[in-house]
Structures are given as C-alpha cells and as structure tokens.
Amino acid sequence: MLWRKFNGDPIQLPIKTAVEEAIVKEIDAGCKLKVCIGTDSQVKGLETEFATVIVFLREGRGGFMYIHNENTLLKYSIKERMLVEVAKSIEIAYELCDLFTLYDVDMEVHADINTNAQFKSNEALREAMGYILGMGFAFKAKPEAFASSSCANKMVN
C-alpha cells in the first residue's frame, strides 16, 4: 500500500513505522496530538477512486496528513460505496490503533456520510456508525467529519 505526504513525497517506510516515527517526533517537540482517519471516493466514468487520509492535528499548532489513493472498476450503489469508505478507514485505524494507545493519542474515524436524511449518503449512516463504534473507535459524521469530507475529498482528483 503506497502512502504519500501532502506535498507528494512518497512514504518509503511501512505506514505503521512512519506513523510511529511521526508520533514520537511530535511528542518530543512538545505537541499534543490527535489523529483523524477518513476516506472519500469519487466515481469517474467506469472507475471509482478512493482516498484515505491519516490527519495528525497538533493542538494549537496546525497539522499534517498522509494520503493513500486507490482505484477500482467495481460498481457500487451509494450505500455500498459509503460502507467501503468506512471499511478502508477502519482497516487503517485497526492497523494503527495500538500505536495510538501506546502513545496516548486520541483517534477518531470520520465518515463522509451526511446526518441529514435528505442526502443519499444518509442511507449508510446507521451501519457505518455501528461498524465504527463496534470496533471501539470514536466516530464522526458530516458536518464534523473533516478528515473524510474535506481532507480526503481534496485527494480524490
């Protein structure tokens, strides 16, 4: 799985190693960290592009993120696509969660799902929330889910 920084530089290390190094560096610099993980997608013709982001927030000092893009030719209903986004976020959250516990870093999983029933993505809200909370992770949906609806959204070209 290829990850990159926001400036486009590839992350050469396994993502777990890179995240741990980033956490240690930020803690050593005196930062209190929070991590938000989210995924967004966009359908372009026959392809669906997914972008997953790991957003590091430094309390009062900005932040940075790591990005992974993935394309597929699979067709999804809107509900399926929303749940695939959530699954991709949970996959990386699960891979990294022991690091967040070890270094006492708060972590949230953000779902690009609208809490307003008038939006089509709302069909997936109950299942997504159950999936994320069932895994033991903190959950945010739109409009609070900035990692997926703002950060990852900018990464699907």
pLDDT average, residue stretch 118-137: 90
User: Global pTM?
Assistant: 0.93
Number of domains in the chain: 1
Can you give the residue range of the structural domain that contains 65?
3-155
Quick: pLDDT tens for 55-74: 999 999 999 999 999 999 99
The whole-number pLDDT of residue 17 equals 98
List C-alpha distances in Å: 12 to 6, 19, 49, 60, 95: 14, 12, 22, 29, 17
What's the whole-number mean pLDDT along residues 105-134? 90
Is residue 119 very low, low, confident or very high in pLDDT (cuts 50, 70, 90)? confident
Q: How far is C-alpha 146 from the geometric centre of its chain's CA atoms? A: 9
